């Protein structure tokens, strides 16, 4: 499904209220009964205005009906949720326009956006549940039984968690993109002008880069955290050029280039106190080693780092524990458990398909999947691509019309 953000400009204030009402109703109803939408939207014009808005929203694919429903009602689509989030970011002046999509993760869409000054930022739209939960029975059954398998709920949790950690890590001085805003299943952060490590063919000093990355793993551990997906897609390698020092002898004018790794992608972070912490820690380290050995033919002589040693350093030298940052932001244990079940399910499914990396080349995998009545993820959860038409120069015009 392609969703054009240009439709945002044509929605009236009433349309937005009705869309927000459907979102509100979704908290307690899978399908929000039309009378409830009327009640929640509190439009001055009454029911007829609501119906007009419902029809506009449905036409634009922002809300949908379910066939064979026992009563008349609507649910929010991915597009509707995207619009609500974009509307919030836009109203708060964090986003002015949406540009092209730069990445399709298995659990996200990454878009370039711009604020009103034209500065480029990144919008990460979480799409947890895009790939159906077919395997790992325990987690799937858990999600289903607890009625928490909904893509909306899980995607919101993923964004909330990611934003909490991004903020905590940034405040602590970790090399991560600056956090800017969070709404629903989306976060806005600084654009890091750097390719993922995955795209780097060679580096001048693999040993130094490896040491720096291991240093990051250990620094996270001191703060009580394990990244949990420390792979070559989630490390961006920024080239920082520093002018040569005046005292240097060589007379070449070439600026010295330092490579600074920037960490991204935090929904799966785990605490050093997690029951499986050692497994996640070892997996992150192993991932790094495998990549360095394959890509740069670099094999460290040191067999570590080991979890037991890292564990002893938690909180050392006054390192603030960041694993508590999430609960401090209102994320309950139940939410953490729900999100973890979903993430582990997706991981296992990716492993089953033989995907090891972070991204799909294209979206074809999704289309090939068979339909399955029982799946938690149904048709309406297909990925939505937001496209702002380039030919009309829309990327330089705002998302919203006069109705914000």
Q: By CB under 6 A, is residue 291 in contact with ligand ADP?
A: no
The number of residues that bind ligand ADP (CB under 6 A) is 20
Give the one entry of ligand ADP, Mg ion, none that residue 130 binds, where binding means its C-beta sits below a cut-off of 5 to 8 angstroms depending on kind.
Answer: none
Q: By CB under 6 A, is residue 105 in contact with ligand ADP?
A: yes
Segment interacting with ligand ADP, rule: CB under 6 A, options 35-43, 101-109, 307-315, 383-391? 101-109
Distance CA 112, CA 403 (A): 24
Give the one entry of ligand ADP, Mg ion, none that residue 108 binds, where binding means its C-beta sits below a cut-off of 5 to 8 angstroms depending on kind.
Answer: ligand ADP
Which helix (H) or strand (E) segment holds residue 235: the answer is strand 235-242
**Helix boundaries (H) for 92-172:** 137-145, 151-171
Exactly one of 23, 38, 82, 265 binds ligand ADP (CB under 6 A); that residue is: 265
Distance CA 378, CA 376 (A): 6
Exactly one of 34, 53, 108, 139 binds ligand ADP (CB under 6 A); that residue is: 108
Instruction: Indicate the residue among 106 and 223 with the shorter CB distance to ligand ADP.
Output: 106
Question: What does the DSSP 8-state code read for residue 28?
Answer: T
Exactly one of 189, 272, 399, 400 binds ligand ADP (CB under 6 A); that residue is: 189
| End-to-end CA, the chain | 26
368 counts as catalytic = no
Distance CA 119, CA 177 (A): 14
Which residue has 């497994």 as its token pair?
Answer: 279
Distance CA 255, CA 243 (A): 4
Q: By CB under 6 A, is residue 107 in contact with ligand ADP?
A: yes
Q: x/- site string to ligand ADP, residues 152 to 181, per CB under 6 A?
A: -------------------------x----
Q: By CB under 6 A, is residue 232 in contact with ligand ADP?
A: no
| Catalytic position from the list 14, 229, 265, 284 | 229
Long-range Cβ contacts of 289-292 (<8 Å, 24+ apart): 291/197, 291/231, 291/232, 292/206, 292/210
Phi, psi (deg, nearest 5) at residue 148? -110, 15
Dihedral (Cα; 312, 317, 318, 321), 10-degree rounding: -30
We find the least distance from the C-beta atom of residue 182 to ligand ADP, in angstroms, to be 14
Give the one entry of ligand ADP, Mg ion, none that residue 177 binds, where binding means its C-beta sits below a cut-off of 5 to 8 angstroms depending on kind.
Answer: ligand ADP
Q: x/- site string to ligand ADP, residues 319 to 358, per CB under 6 A?
A: ---------------------------------------x
Instruction: Cite the active site residues.
Output: 229
């Amino acid at each position: 499904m392609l969703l054009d953000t240009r439709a945002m400009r044509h929605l009236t204030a009433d349309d937005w209220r009705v869309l927000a009402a459907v979102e509100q109703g979704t908290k307690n109803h899978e399908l929000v009964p039309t009378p409830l939408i009327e009640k929640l939207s509190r439009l001055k014009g009454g029911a007829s205005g609501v119906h007009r808005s419902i029809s506009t929203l449905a036409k634009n694919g922002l809300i949908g009906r379910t066939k064979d429903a026992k009563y008349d009602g609507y649910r929010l689509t991915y597009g509707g949720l995207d619009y609500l989030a974009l509307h919030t970011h836009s109203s708060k002046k964090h986003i002015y326009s949406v540009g092209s999509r730069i990445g399709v993760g298995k659990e996200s869409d990454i878009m370039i956006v711009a604020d009103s000054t034209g500065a480029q930022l990144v919008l990460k739209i979480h799409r947890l549940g895009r790939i159906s939960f077919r395997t790992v029975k325990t987690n799937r059954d858990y999600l289903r039984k607890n009625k928490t398998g909904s893509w909306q709920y899980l995607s919101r949790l993923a964004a909330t968690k990611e934003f909490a950690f991004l903020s905590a890590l940034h405040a602590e001085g970790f090399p991560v993109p600056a956090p800017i805003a969070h709404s629903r299943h989306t976060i806005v952060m600084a654009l890091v002008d750097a390719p993922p490590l995955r795209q780097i063919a060679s580096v001048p000093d693999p040993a130094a880069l490896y040491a720096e990355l291991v240093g990051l793993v250990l620094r996270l551990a001191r703060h009580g955290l394990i990244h949990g997906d420390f792979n070559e897609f989630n490390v961006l390698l920024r080239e920082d050029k520093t002018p040569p020092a005046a005292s240097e002898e060589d007379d070449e004018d070439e600026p010295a280039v330092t490579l600074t790794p920037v960490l991204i992608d935090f929904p799966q972070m785990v605490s050093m106190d997690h029951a499986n912490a050692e497994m996640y820690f070892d997996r992150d380290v192993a991932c790094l080693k495998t990549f360095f050995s394959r890509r740069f033919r670099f094999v460290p002589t040191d067999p570590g780092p080991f979890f037991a040693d890292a564990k002893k350093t938690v909180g050392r030298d006054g390192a603030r524990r960041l694993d508590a940052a999430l609960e401090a932001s209102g994320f309950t244990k139940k939410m953490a458990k729900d999100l973890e079940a979903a993430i582990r399910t997706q991981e296992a499914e990716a492993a089953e398909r033989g995907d090891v990396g972070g991204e799909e080349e294209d979206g074809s995998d999704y289309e090939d999947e068979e339909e399955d009545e029982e799946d938690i993820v149904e048709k309406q959860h297909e990925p939505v691509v937001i496209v702002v038409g380039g030919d009309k120069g829309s990327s330089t015009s705002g998302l919203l019309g006069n109705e914000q």
